[in-house]
Structure 1
Amino acid sequence: MHNKLFPIKSSSNIDTNIYFSLIVLFTLGLCSLIFTPTVVAQDILLQTGFEDFTVGSPPTDWEIRGNQINVTDDTVKTGDKSLGILGGANDDRCGVAIETENPIISVEFWVFIKGSGRSFNLKVVSDDNVAVNDGGVYMNWNENAVRLYNGSAWVAIDNFPFGSWRYVRVVADVSKSEFDYYVGKDRDETLLAEPISGLAFRKPATNPAAQWVVFHVYSSVAQGFVDDLLIYEGADPPVSTPVESKDKLTTYWGQVKKQSSLR
């Protein structure tokens, strides 16, 4: 005799309900796989505010030539230290080796130019040899402007106010032998800025990916200062970056993955 208040369900009804529930769960899971965007790992290759390095000396383990590119406390944007490119002989340099298979690399930093005339060069080098000037980004600051050398001539990129800190972002695409340039009064403004795009390398790249980022001296008379250097793979900025006290980017957050015996 069945209980009229609590009727017993047949096994066929139970099986149907379970089957229906499994179909719903499977469909939801499939939809989540289809419509969930793939997250691509993005390596930060180097992040430094120069705080842990010694004033009067170049950054430890960087590729150095000359003695006038050193960590300084003279002209600083954040924290207590920056990198000063104070002068030197032609082809003096301070470069950091990087290792990536990504053909696109982004370089961000604060920059301040003191004085007048020609200042330092920024190189993003695709060659294994840090001393090579061809095959990558080759740009410099000169007389309130920033310009590039394409292998045969200097080409103006944009105005640049000497005596003021500006935040610069360079996105180099080694596969195309060209780069984009961004600038602003702070990082937020720079990331939102319209880039100057399709700028030419100093001759075509010699490797499929960048090997070095270098601050380089050639006929330099105006001192340059760099702070909060950030180097990462790809063209998209990291969602977030860890910050020290005093709003200083962490020194060597990310490992310098490659050393050089060149001197």
Structure 2
Amino acid sequence: MDFMKLLTPRPGLRVLITGGASGIGLAIAKAFVSTGARVHVCDVDAKAIDAASTVSPAISGTRADVANKDDVKRVFEDVRRELGGLDVLINNAGIAGPTGGIDAIDSGEWEQTIDVNLNSQYYFSREAVPMLREATDGGVIVFMSSVAGRLGYGFRTPYAATKWAVVGLAKSLAIELGPDNIRVNAVQPGIVKGPRMEGVIAARAKQLGIPYEEMEKQYLAKISLRRMVTQEEVAASVLYLSSPAGSAISGQALSVCGNVETL
């Protein structure tokens, strides 16, 4: 048996990645392109999409607000035109949401976090499923949750609530869509090295009134491996779930976090 072939998604996969023009999403896009996939990304940042499209001619893009149902429909019009179908949906788009006590969080920020982190994943899944049913080797959906989707996260309640909900959505859709040969899983990144995490740490440090460096040390002390994970490590887990090696895996929440012990 050729195990290396099993570990690589088949060339020619048609992949849609939400929030795919930067950060983890772009790392996932690059990973799929390296295997011969054709990738369409959507992102709220038009400049980021332009930059992503220069990475490879195999990447196309649509500027869209993932929480806007009309924008979502427009994304799928572009997917049909650019890719001619869909094999893999990566529901990656998300925001950090506000930092603060439950009695201090603005209701508008709460609702925005729900809209972007949870409702958008429903909108995209709803549009994608009819296309994924037609995928030659079966369809794949990967929801991007978080380690905050398996642990409590004080002062980040909107974010944690959505990431727990995403796991429930993934596990439920795995049951619902399994008979259609569509596999559904969630990935739970931990503390991912990059500008977004730096912003989260800075906001928490400000909330607690301590220096950034001290806050960062506290975050790392909660990780068994005592380091942040990289975007590429998260992307590799998505490739695995989309490869023949992951063909029997569905309904799972895979933590890629170095074993975050507590938040």
Tell me if both proteins adopt one fold, taking TM over 0.5 as the criterion.
Answer: no
Larger radius of gyration: 1
Compare the two structures and name the one with the higher strand fraction.
Answer: 1
Structure of higher RCO (CA pairs closer than 8 Å, 6+ residues apart)? 1
Compare the two structures and name the one with the higher helix fraction.
Answer: 2
TM-score, reference length from structure 1: 0.28
TM-score, reference length from structure 2: 0.28
